[in-house]
Amino acid sequence: MLYLESPAGVGFSYSANQSFYQSVNDDMTARDNLVFLENWFKRFPEFNHRGFYISGESYGGHYVPQLAHLILQSKAKINLKGIAEIPFSNSKRISTSMRQAASGALTPVCFRVITLVSSEMSHFIDAYDVTLDVCLSSLQLQSLRLNQMQDEPKVNVCVEDETIVYLNRKDVQTAFHARLPNATRWSSAAVPYAGSLDTDYPSYIYILMMQGFVSVSSGDQDSILPLTGTRTLVNGLAKELGLNTTEAYGVWFEGGQVGGWTQVYGDFLSFATIRGASHEAPFSQPERLLVLFRSFVEGKPLLRVNGLAKRKNTVSSMNRLV
Catalytic positions: 58, 222, 279
Q: How many CB atoms sit inside 10 A of residue 70's CB?
A: 17
- Please tell me whether the peptide bond between 108 and the residue prior to it is cis, using omega within 30 degrees of 0: no
Pairing outcome for strands 245-254 and 257-265:
antiparallel
Cα gap 25→23, rounded to integer Å: 7
Cα gap 125→281, rounded to integer Å: 18
| Phi/psi of residue 135, nearest 5 degrees | -80, 115
Q: How many CB atoms sit inside 10 A of residue 131's CB?
A: 12
